[in-house]
Amino acid sequence: MKQLFKAVTLPLAAVMVLGGCAAKNGEAPNDAEKTKTGILIGTLVGAALGAVTSKHHKGKNAAIGAAVGAAAGGAIGYSLDKQAQDVADSMQTKVSQDETSAVKRSDIVVTKHDNYVKITFKSRMMFATDSADPTPEAREKIARLVDVLKDYPDTIVQVVGHTDSRGSYDYNLKLSQRRAFSVANLLKSLGVKNRIYARGCSFSKPLVPNDSPENMAINRRVEIFLYPNEESVIDSCR
């Protein structure tokens, strides 16, 4: 056990050094956080695999496994960071650390999470009232995303529609589904080869309370999640 602990210690030390590079005011640097998380996960998994590979030289195998795992995990983290930045660049915006705050100011918000990248589009830019047909502006923005996805063919895409609380749940569920399916179909028609899933959430997951016209406008949105693998997919309506 001591040998395993020693094998993990060095890569973990590197993770803690990276942790010291976080920006002030609570905002993480664009490229560090997911890379750091990926290295940590990869290190622990790699060390464990290396330790059990052979009855002999467990410490040596664990050290090798940790190094390989750290490299693999770091690559996954970096891919997420780079993908988020590529998407933000294509949309002519920045990667935000606070979706709720940013969506009050912008029609398009790109956020990074531990296991995925999310793009939030306000419905006022995407659709006319009660319509599921993307506006010309929405089509132009989605076309920019298509260019980015061509560089990430293994990314899983999930399109999710949300509404405000006016009207019945069932009516809004159907509207949110139609909008999500419309965007998903547009992505496919523009040449996206990635796996794409679509669903509607009605008004089950508001970003802010539906207590004012301004807040309702924030809650009417389409979200596009970009996942590196099946294990990262979340229930986007909860």
Coil, helix or strand for 165? coil
Q: Which two tokens stand for residue 205?
A: 């997951």
Query: Which comes out higher in pLDDT, residue 117 or 124?
Result: 117
Spatial neighbors of 57 by CB under 8 A, at least 6 apart, are none
Range in 8-12, 47-51, 53-57, 95-99 the model is least confident about: 8-12
> Which CATH architecture best describes the domain 95-232?
2-Layer Sandwich (3.30)
Burial class, 111, CB count within 10 angstroms (exposed 0-12 / middle 13-18 / buried 19+): buried
| H-state helical runs in 20-168 | 33-53, 58-90, 99-103, 123-126, 136-149
Q: What is the H or E stretch that residue 206 is in?
A: none
Q: Is the dihedral of CA 118, 121, 126, 130 positive or negative?
A: positive
pLDDT for the residue numbered 142 = 95
Spatial neighbors of 50 by CB under 8 A, at least 6 apart, are 7, 61, 62, 63, 64, 65, 66, 68, 69
pLDDT for the residue numbered 101 = 87
Q: Which residues of 26-40 are buried (b: 16+ CB within 10 A; e: fewer)?
A: eebebbbbbbbbbbb
CA atoms of 28 and 101, how far apart (whole Å): 16
Instruction: Using alpha carbons, select from 4, 236, 2 the residue that is nearest to residue 120.
Output: 236
Phi-psi region of 26 (alpha: psi -120 to 50; beta: other; left: phi over 0): left
pLDDT tens profile 149-192? 999 999 999 999 999 999 999 999 999 999 999 999 999 999 99
pLDDT surpasses 50 at 44: no
pLDDT for the residue numbered 13 = 32
Residue 195 has a CB neighbour count (10 Å cut-off) of: 13
- The domain spans of the chain are 2-82, 95-232
pLDDT surpasses 50 at 193: yes
Range in 37-51, 86-100, 129-143 the model is least confident about: 37-51
Percentage with pLDDT > 70 across the chain: 67
Instruction: Using alpha carbons, select from 104, 112, 109 the residue that is nearest to residue 121.
Output: 109
pLDDT for the residue numbered 77 = 66
- What's the mean per-residue pLDDT of the chain? 77
